[in-house]
């Protein structure tokens, strides 16, 4: 198929679509837009493609979803030809894959790297967006697609004295491109979410001493990572049609795995233990799919949480350290469960110390130490594994104004409001890929990315066929969707945790459960039905009837 491309070189004037971000979402969006014959410009603040996999280069970074599934499905040739080397791909390999996709589909000519979108302003007369970039360019586009990622805005913790520290400071979400060698150094890791848990065992191998500062103990399941054999790859490849269908249409989380047929309390103690043992041995996120009520029923959840706590006590030799590492503050799975390689065992090493900063908070950072509980822990380097301003952080950094000059930050001041996680009322022709209110971070995100991108591309094609030039979520549909997202979330145990799903990790951020918990399969059906009913809940306006939109919102 001939691929229409926008003029290469300096952005000058106008495009059908401006896409923000060249991660997995932005790249696939560009590919689909070209297929529709639309002109598009992708702006990417990094110097390369890959999004989260471009930035998160910390030691031990790898995907917690199996590589054969954490990959694009839109091209059968691509999925048949790419060789994943391990069950869980390490970050460099995922980045290599992203670059391969960019080259294979010739995407780079429409991507402008090292460029941030600073501002986007909707013009109500022309129904077009005016976009201002960090290099001072102003371009216009009929549509803007925010493919900015859910976990791409690394968050520096507010710790007194951080700027006075004389050693090197690294954030896991913004890791340098050159190799970092901790050999012979005293290193501190602050934070024990997925990034901390993945990096601790690897840094421990290098550092002369590693001190881990833990505020909240986390549940983590062994990855059981291993090299993939050619046989295993071929098994997946032969079954890809079924696997991808299941992930998209049937599963709740975009992962090919058994669907549990019973609750945890339906089994006797020994049967339950045997099931948990089996999943612990096979490893990975699907530990939470042993039973169908682990996210719903506290008593059921307690059985899984107790099992993991017992495992931690078996692995960690020092009882006091084991006790500190046993999570007790939240039901298992209500903070994103971690998947590790030898995390708990790392605390058996003589060069690793755990410091409990829940009971003895960090007071300050001095020129050469982390001071907590009145004690100075002297270190040469600080690793901040303190997470992200998730789901809304990267959108909030762009100054977006819609109808009547209302900014998206003003509209979302009390929490993000979207219809289907795809659009926000008052912001016509602005789409969000895996936005708040969609399954996004509760799923194998590439499955959710492909679903959103396909939906948006089909929608643009429909608008073109109907001669529409603007589309907008109605406020009524949005209010109902936000209520639905909340109702489902509060029927689960998730809101019991101070998680980044709730915005609880960012001081001052509104506490609202942001992702849609109803499941990937059911969510897709809802989106498809909305489209089949002529984009129910959205108002579309043709060039000749511009007032209809304003009246409907
Ligand atoms: O971030 P987090 P992350 N002082 O927010 C602590 C994805 N991911 O980068 O829990 C001291 O989970 C904070 O403590 P607390 C994955 O979806 C995927 O680890 O707030 N401590 C917590 O321990 C994941 O869920 C992979 O009490 C402070 C930690 O820092 C998401 O990204 C790999 C602090 C932050 O944990 C985020 O993970 C990595 C402070 N001021 C990440 N502020 C894959 O495997 C924060 N903390 C694909």
Is 386's C-beta closer than 6 angstroms to any atom of ligand 1?
yes
Is 89's C-beta closer than 6 angstroms to any atom of ligand 1?
no
pLDDT for position 50? 98
pLDDT for position 330? 97
Residue 352 token pair: 């690793």
Beta-sheet pairing, 186-190 with 111-112: unpaired
Residues 6 or more apart in contact with residue 539 via CB below 8 angstroms:
471, 472, 474, 548, 549, 552, 553
| CA 444–ligand 1 middle distance (angstroms) | 18
Q: Which residue has the least CA distance to atom 9 on ligand 1?
A: 387
Report the share of the chain in percent with pLDDT over 90.
93
pTM of the predicted model, to two decimals? 0.95
Statement: residue 168 has pLDDT above 80: yes
Alpha-carbon gap, residue 96 to 48, rounded angstroms: 11
Alpha-carbon gap, residue 444 to 476, rounded angstroms: 30
Residue 119 token pair: 């501002």
Q: Please give the mean pLDDT across all residues of the chain.
A: 94
pLDDT for position 550? 38
pLDDT for position 8? 45
* Residue 544 banded pLDDT, cuts 50, 70, 90: low
Q: Which residue has the least CA distance to atom 29 on ligand 1?
A: 191
Residues 6 or more apart in contact with residue 269 via CB below 8 angstroms:
none
Q: Which residue has the least CA distance to atom 24 on ligand 1?
A: 194
Alpha-carbon gap, residue 375 to 484, rounded angstroms: 48
Q: Which residue has the least CA distance to atom 10 on ligand 1?
A: 216
Statement: residue 159 has pLDDT above 50: yes
DSSP for 277-314, written as a single string: HHHHHH-SGGGGGSSTTTTT-HHHHHHHHHHHHHHHHH
| CA 462–ligand 1 middle distance (angstroms) | 40
pLDDT for position 3? 41
- Of the two residues 258 and 116, the one the predictor is more confident about is 116
In ligand 1, the atom with minimum distance to the C-alpha of 216 is 27
Cβ(523)–Cβ(530) under 8 Å? no
Statement: residue 152 has pLDDT above 90: no
Alpha-carbon gap, residue 326 to 311, rounded angstroms: 9
Report the share of the chain in percent with pLDDT over 70.
96
Is 326's C-beta closer than 6 angstroms to any atom of ligand 1?
no
Cβ(511)–Cβ(525) under 8 Å? no
| CA 387–ligand 1 middle distance (angstroms) | 4
Is 392's C-beta closer than 6 angstroms to any atom of ligand 1?
no
| CA 499–ligand 1 middle distance (angstroms) | 9
Statement: residue 7 has pLDDT above 60: no
Q: Is 82 helix (H, G, I), strand (E, B) or coil?
A: coil
pLDDT average, residue stretch 342-366: 98
Is 215's C-beta closer than 6 angstroms to any atom of ligand 1?
yes
Alpha-carbon gap, residue 441 to 436, rounded angstroms: 9
pLDDT average, residue stretch 256-281: 96
Statement: residue 334 has pLDDT above 60: yes
pLDDT for position 551? 38
Q: pLDDT of 384-430, one tens digit each? A: 999 998 989 899 999 999 999 999 999 999 999 999 999 999 999 99
Beta-sheet pairing, 40-43 with 468-473: unpaired
């Amino acid at each position: 198929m001939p691929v229409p491309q926008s003029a290469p070189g300096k952005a000058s004037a106008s495009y059908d679509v401006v896409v923000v971000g060249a991660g997995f979402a932005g790249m696939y969006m560009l590919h689909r837009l070209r297929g529709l014959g639309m002109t598009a410009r992708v702006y990417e603040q990094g110097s390369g493609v890959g999004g989260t996999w471009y930035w998160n280069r910390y030691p031990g970074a790898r995907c917690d979803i199996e590589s054969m599934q954490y990959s694009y499905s839109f091209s059968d040739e691509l999925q048949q030809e790419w060789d994943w080397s391990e069950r869980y791909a390490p970050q460099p390999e995922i980045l290599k894959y992203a670059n391969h996709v960019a080259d294979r589909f010739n995407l780079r000519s429409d991507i402008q790297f090292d460029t941030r979108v600073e501002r986007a302003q909707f013009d109500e007369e022309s129904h077009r967006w005016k976009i201002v970039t960090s290099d001072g360019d102003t371009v216009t586009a009929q549509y803007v697609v925010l493919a900015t990622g859910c976990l791409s805005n690394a968050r520096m913790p507010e710790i007194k004295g951080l700027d006075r520290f004389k050693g090197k400071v690294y954030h896991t979400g913004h890791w340098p491109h050159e190799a970092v060698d901790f050999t012979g150094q005293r290193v501190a890791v602050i934070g024990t979410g997925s990034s901390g848990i993945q990096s601790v065992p690897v840094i421990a191998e290098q550092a002369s001493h590693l001190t881990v500062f833990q505020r909240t103990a986390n549940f983590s399941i062994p990855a059981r990572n291993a090299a993939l054999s050619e046989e295993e790859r071929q098994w997946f490849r032969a079954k890809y049609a079924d696997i991808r269908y299941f992930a998209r249409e049937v599963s709740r989380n975009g992962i090919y795995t058994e669907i549990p047929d019973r609750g945890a309390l339906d089994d006797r103690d020994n049967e339950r233990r045997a099931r948990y043992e089996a999943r612990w041995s096979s490893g990975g996120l699907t530990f939470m799919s042993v039973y169908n009520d682990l996210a719903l029923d506290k008593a059921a959840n307690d059985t899984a949480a107790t099992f993991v706590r017992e495992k931690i006590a078996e692995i960690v030799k020092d009882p006091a350290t084991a006790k500190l590492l046993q999570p007790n503050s939240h039901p298992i799975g209500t903070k994103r469960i971690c998947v590790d390689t030898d995390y708990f065992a790392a605390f058996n090493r003589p060069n690793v110390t755990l410091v409990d900063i829940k009971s003895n908070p960090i007071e300050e950072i001095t020129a050469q130490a982390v001071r907590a509980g009145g004690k100075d822990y002297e270190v040469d380097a600080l690793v901040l594994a303190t997470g992200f301003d998730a789901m809304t952080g990267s959108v909030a950094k762009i100054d977006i104004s819609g109808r009547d000059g209302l900014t998206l930050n003003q509209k979302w001041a009390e929490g993000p409001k979207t219809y289907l996680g795809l659009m926000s009322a008052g912001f016509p022709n602005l789409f969000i890929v895996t936005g708040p209110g969609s399954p996004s971070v509760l799923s194998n995100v590439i499955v959710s990315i492909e679903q959103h991108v396909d939906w948006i591309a089909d929608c643009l094609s429909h608008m073109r066929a109907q001669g529409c030039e603007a589309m907008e979520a109605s406020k009524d549909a949005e209010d109902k969707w936000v209520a639905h997202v909340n109702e489902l979330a509060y029927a689960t145990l998730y809101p019991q945790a101070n998680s980044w799903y709730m915005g609880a990790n960012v001081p001052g951020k509104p506490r609202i459960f942001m992702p849609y918990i109803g499941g990937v399969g059911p969510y897709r059906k809802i989106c498809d039905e909305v489209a089949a009913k002529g984009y129910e809940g959205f108002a579309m306006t043709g060039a000749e009837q511009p007032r209809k939109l304003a009246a409907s919102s």
